[in-house]
Amino acid sequence: MIPPIVLGCDSIRGVSYRSAERAAELRTRFERPERIEPLLRRALQAGITGMLTPYHRSLLVALDAFPHRSWDLYPVIPDMSALLRDVSDSGAIGAVWPRIRRLTVWQKLVLGVRGLREAGGLVSRDFRSFLAVLLDLELAPFHRYRPRAIFLSAQITDLALAFDNAPLVFRFADLARRRFRAEPALETHNLGTLLPALDRWGAPIRIVASPVNLYGMKMRPTQSICEELIRASGRTIVATKTLIGELIPAPQVAEYLARLGVGSAALDADDPSELQGFLDAFRGGPASGLSPDGSQAQPSTV
Amino acid sequence: MIRVGVVGVGKMGLLHSAMVRRLPDADLVGVMDNNIGLKPLLRSMGLSVPFYTSLDSLIEGSRPDALFVCTPHSTHLPIARQGLSRGMHLFIEKPLADSIEASRELLEIGRSVDPVCMVGYTFAYLPIVRRAKEILESGEIGSVRHVEASMVISQVLSAKKGWRYDPSQSGGGVLMNVASHLAYLLYDFFGPARSVTATLRRIHSTKVEDEVEALIDFEGVQARLNSSWSVPGHPASHFQVKIEGALGSLHLTNERVRWTASRAGGEQVEYAAGLGAGVGFDLGGDGFYGEGYYLEDQDFLASIAGRRRPRVGLEAGFHVQEILDAIYRSGSRNAPVSLEAIPS
């Protein structure tokens, strides 16, 4: 279900682990959809057709330039940083409004009916109802891509994990399958705690995205525990923050990920001309299913 | 097992509640907030501990050994007074209080009692900041001559509501809420300040400052501090500290510490991405602050268990408050302020 290599979105979102200057440069560059388009085109040429991303307006505009179904998007929602910022700026209602404005008239109608179903939960301040409405709102811009998997963002996953909140994860899994006909997946920054918890809960989650990198950055509680669990896990692990903004050379990353046996790797490239170099390095590793011309010969699926 | 109560369950209270849940040897036994509407929300988030609407009922009902105080700054003193009088250990979110007077009273009460008191200046625990301090203390860049420190975030780009923007509850604007981290860092690196000359500016806010610029004398080390929460383009807070020494220089940011030293020859860089070992649980987003929260809560609980002083005790919190207070005084008088002049 998740291809061996997907495009990550850190660079496009202006996340840098090198410097603030680079983060600012990335943000400025990728504010404009026409600057994102060449990166997407080059990725497609290289055989990358999947992308792990939260809502990013310029990215979705850039994707409009591509034929329908060129890209498989795997949304990471809700974007809690953006939501908290909007709540802080405009209050809870003010934060919801721009998300409603993204919707088509039909989506507003459908979501309105669904919202009524959650009304009881919203009135009684049930977080699971808030989450259901939030997922609806944040997924709407992705509908035309018919996502095959939806990732619950790390800030929600990890909060649920901290409070041992299995019902929230089950509710998300149910919503993803029933309402959005997609595979439920989790993003986490605490892989070494989450994987045993999912087993303990018997949670129907088969895909987990987590930072996996040579620095051990955000591999909690320790890099070695995460590595051990990745090797033993029956779940598909999508490695994110693999290059940490190119702090680690791609060949080393490829070798490391192959050794661990991750199911998929997200590549945060920002320069179309560098993409091929990364891919060449990755092909010996988790992307070994890619054929020499870059097309996906035997995609590993979940 | 240390029994922990959390007072104020906003963003920081929720974060500390989650961290306490993940730390060994700690048991979250209750939370308190005067907004009863939070109770069902927190319960459905999985926070299934008793919820109280008064501190008395939390103390009586759940009998915590320690409290995390995560309420508006103006409430820190009364809550601390009550907690300490009942022999409880206190973690007080930064800043120590909303004023120098309240901070002094808190310091005096804290000195007279036994429990551990800690102030939540997270920068004390950020691995990249610790590394920078190690480099400074090693003498690699020589005696420090000049410092420039800044911290920015795009938080107030129009007039905003809430207790943070009400000086009667927060004590001030960007300085209290954001730049106090930077003031702590400078205090941690260079000790108590001697004099301050500052300018405060409002851009969007009507009651608190949105920008601060200060020249601080740390006994021979001149530091320039700049901070704004009204700068576009910074969705997350970003800080940088440039230090010029007699033998080299050091540049510290969220992402890295870069230094040149004549002895070592050439530039050296270490990235925050490679320095997070020992962090058992991370509730941060893409940045590194989540590491600091885990490590500070761990230090607080370990200090209680080991009957030792935490890294950021009341004295440190008070000295930082002296700097904040001097900046406000200087800004309002439009004149330099000597810290010795503050009645003690």
Span A9-61, pLDDT tens digits: 999 999 999 998 899 899 999 999 999 999 999 999 988 999 999 999 999 99
On whether any CB of chain B is under 8 Å from the CB of A124, the answer is yes
Tell me which residue has tokens 């058992």. B280
Residue B281 has pLDDT above 60, yes or no: yes
Residue A294 has pLDDT above 50, yes or no: no
Q: Which of B317, B289, B267 is nearest to B151 (CA)?
A: B289
B150 backbone dihedrals φ, ψ, rounded to 5°: -145, 155
Residue A123 has pLDDT above 80, yes or no: no
List, edge to edge, every strand of the sheet that includes B66-69: B51-52, B26-32, B2-7, B66-69, B89-93, B117-120
The answer as to whether B50 is a domain residue is: yes
Residues B149 and B117 in one domain: no
**How many residues are given for chain B?**
344
Q: Which region among A269-273, B91-95, B163-167 has the lowest average model confidence (pLDDT)?
A: A269-273
Residues B189 and B213 in one domain: yes
Residue B234 has pLDDT above 90, yes or no: no
Residues B72 and B153 in one domain: no
Which residues in chain B are contacts of A82 at CB distance < 8 A? 235
Predicted confidence (pLDDT) per residue in A210-237, tens digit: 999 999 999 999 999 999 999 999 999 9
Residue A301 has pLDDT above 70, yes or no: no
Question: CA dist A217 to A232, A237, B314, Å?
Answer: 20, 16, 32
Residues B35 and B165 in one domain: no
What residues make up the domain containing B98?
A: 2-123
Residue B264 has pLDDT above 90, yes or no: no
Q: Which region among A129-138, A169-178, B91-100, B134-143 has the lowest average model confidence (pLDDT)?
A: A129-138
Residue-level pLDDT at A302: 31
Residue-level pLDDT at A289: 44
Are A193 and A219 contacting, i.e. CB atoms less than 8 angstroms apart?
no
Residues B185 and B332 in one domain: yes
3-state secondary structure string, chain A?
Answer: CCCCEEECCHHHHCCCCCCHHHHHHHHHHCCCHHHHHHHHHHHHHCCCCEEEECCCHHHHHHHCCCCCCCCEEEEEECCHHHHHHHHHHHHHHHHHHHHHHCCCHHHHHHHHHHHHHCHHHHHCCCHHHHHHHHHHHHHHHHHHHCCCEEEECHHHHHHHHHCCCHHHHHHHHHHHHHHCCCEEEEECCCHHHHHHHHHHHCCCCCEEEEECCCCCCCCCCCHHHHHHHHHHCCCEEEEECCCCCCCCCHHHHHHHHHHHCCCEEEECCCCHHHHHHHHHHHHCCCCCCECCCCCECCCCCC
Residue A295 has pLDDT above 50, yes or no: no
Which residue would you say has higher pLDDT here, B292 or A87? Answer: B292
- Residues β-bridged to residue B272: none
- DSSP 8-state class, residue B10: S
* Overall average pLDDT of the B120-148 stretch: 96
Average pLDDT, chain A: 85
* Overall average pLDDT of the B79-88 stretch: 96
- DSSP 8-state class, residue B74: G
How far, in Å, CA of B340 to CA of B194, rounded? 7
Share of chain A above pLDDT 70, in %: 85
Interface probe, candidates A19, A128, A153, chain B, greatest B C-beta count within 10 A: A19
Residue B21, H or E segment: helix B11-22
B283 contacts A159? CB cut-off 8 A = yes
Residue-level pLDDT at B315: 96
The answer as to whether B200 is a domain residue is: yes
Are A215 and B274 contacting, i.e. CB atoms less than 8 angstroms apart?
yes
Residue A94 has pLDDT above 80, yes or no: no
The answer as to whether B329 is a domain residue is: yes
The answer as to whether B39 is a domain residue is: yes
The answer as to whether B197 is a domain residue is: yes
Domain boundary among B123, B148, B169: B123
How far, in Å, CA of A11 to CA of A75, rounded? 16
A266 backbone dihedrals φ, ψ, rounded to 5°: -95, 130
Residue-level pLDDT at A287: 58
Average pLDDT, chain B: 94
The answer as to whether B186 is a domain residue is: yes
- A78 is written with which tokens? 């809700």
Residues B95 and B162 in one domain: no
Residue-level pLDDT at A122: 67
- B201 is written with which tokens? 């500016």
**Cα dihedral sign, B276-B253-B214-B243:** positive
Residues B180 and B250 in one domain: yes
Q: Which of A260, A250, A255 is nearest to A225 (CA)?
A: A260
- Under the banding of pLDDT at 50, 70 and 90, the label for residue A96 is low
Residues B91 and B217 in one domain: no
Residues of B near A (Cβ–Cβ under 8 Å) read 11, 14, 18-19, 21-22, 37-38, 40-41, 44-48, 155, 157-158, 160-162, 233, 235-236, 238, 240, 253-256, 271-274, 276-277, 279-286, 290
A15 contacts B276? CB cut-off 8 A = no
Domain boundary among B123, B144, B179: B123
On whether any CB of chain B is under 8 Å from the CB of A24, the answer is yes
The most distant pair of C-alpha atoms in chain B lies apart, rounded to whole Å, by 62
Residues B99 and B157 in one domain: no
Residue-level pLDDT at A12: 93
* Residue B264: how many other CB atoms lie within 10 Å: 13
Residue A291 has pLDDT above 50, yes or no: no
CATH number for position B173: 3.30.360.10
A159 contacts B45? CB cut-off 8 A = yes
Q: Which region among A123-132, B38-47, B302-311, B318-327 has the lowest average model confidence (pLDDT)?
A: A123-132
Q: Which region among A39-48, A127-136, B250-259 has the lowest average model confidence (pLDDT)?
A: A127-136
Predicted confidence (pLDDT) per residue in A100-114, tens digit: 667 777 777 776 777
Which residue would you say has higher pLDDT here, B106 or A1? Answer: B106
Which residues in chain A are contacts of B149 at CB distance < 8 A? none
Tell me the whole-structure pTM to 2 decimals. Answer: 0.92
Q: Which of A160, A143, A152 is nearest to A183 (CA)?
A: A152
The answer as to whether B306 is a domain residue is: no
Predicted confidence (pLDDT) per residue in B201-228, tens digit: 999 999 999 999 999 999 889 999 999 9
- Span A5-79+147-283: which CATH code? 3.20.20.100
In angstroms, the first-to-last Cα distance of chain B is 38
A124 contacts B46? CB cut-off 8 A = no
Domain boundary among B123, B141, B157: B123
Tell me which residue has tokens 């033998």. B247
Predicted confidence (pLDDT) per residue in A164-201, tens digit: 999 999 999 999 999 889 999 999 999 999 999 999 99
CATH number for position B66: 3.40.50.720
As a dihedral over the C-alpha atoms of residue B34, residue B40, residue B44, residue B50, rounded to 10 degrees, the angle is 60
Residue B7 has pLDDT above 80, yes or no: yes
Residues B72 and B58 in one domain: yes
Residues B144 and B232 in one domain: yes
A220 contacts B238? CB cut-off 8 A = no
B253 contacts A247? CB cut-off 8 A = no
On whether any CB of chain B is under 8 Å from the CB of A10, the answer is yes
Residues B81 and B147 in one domain: no
A165 contacts B46? CB cut-off 8 A = yes
Residue-level pLDDT at A201: 98
B41 contacts A125? CB cut-off 8 A = yes
Helix/strand/coil for B254 = coil
Are B27 and B91 contacting, i.e. CB atoms less than 8 angstroms apart?
no
Count how many domains chain B has.
2
